[in-house]
Amino acid sequence: MPDDIHVPIKSDLDIVAARQRGRELAAGAGFSATDVTLIATAISELARNIVSYAKQGEIVLRLVENSGTRGIMIVGRDAGPGIANLGDAMRDGFSTSGGLGLGLPGIKRLMDRFDIESELGRGTTVSVCKWLR
């Protein structure tokens, strides 16, 4: 498997770059056009959250394998303020920024695996995975 791809996230241009790198990696791994789009959307949402709430962080892209099934793992990591209430953040319609509140719950629906860790004052890490079908 190739090395991890690290994309620093500080601006809207970085969101576009992360999305493009994810599209290339997913397409090269054999994901369908539909799944490539879902993966790119999840990357965009994760990177947008980093820019909006933490100002900077990174997206890490990695091809993974589990029991013979290949997939792509995406990790969004920041050292921002953290999420005060993960339960609220995972509820459809909840937003602290005036948006639609679809970000984290939407990402969870798009992907096959979703893990989040957040600590106030230390940051947030969201790890998601999409398996190749």
Residue 97 belongs to domain spanning: 5-131
Q: What percent of the chain has pLDDT over 70?
A: 92
From edge to edge, which strands make up the β-sheet containing 57-66? 5-9, 57-66, 69-78, 123-131, 113-119
Residue 67: CATH number of its domain: 3.30.565.10
Residue 79 has pLDDT above 90, yes or no: yes
The DSSP string of 16-81 is HHHHHHHHHHHHHTT--HHHHHHHHHHHHHHHHHIIIIIS-EEEEEEEEEETTEEEEEEEEEE-SS
Task: Provide the whole-model pTM.
Answer: 0.92
Question: What is the model's pLDDT at position 100?
Answer: 44
Number of domains within the chain: 1
pLDDT digits (tens, 9 = 90+) for 91-108: 877 666 555 445 899 899
Question: What is the model's pLDDT at position 2?
Answer: 65
Question: What is the model's pLDDT at position 91?
Answer: 81
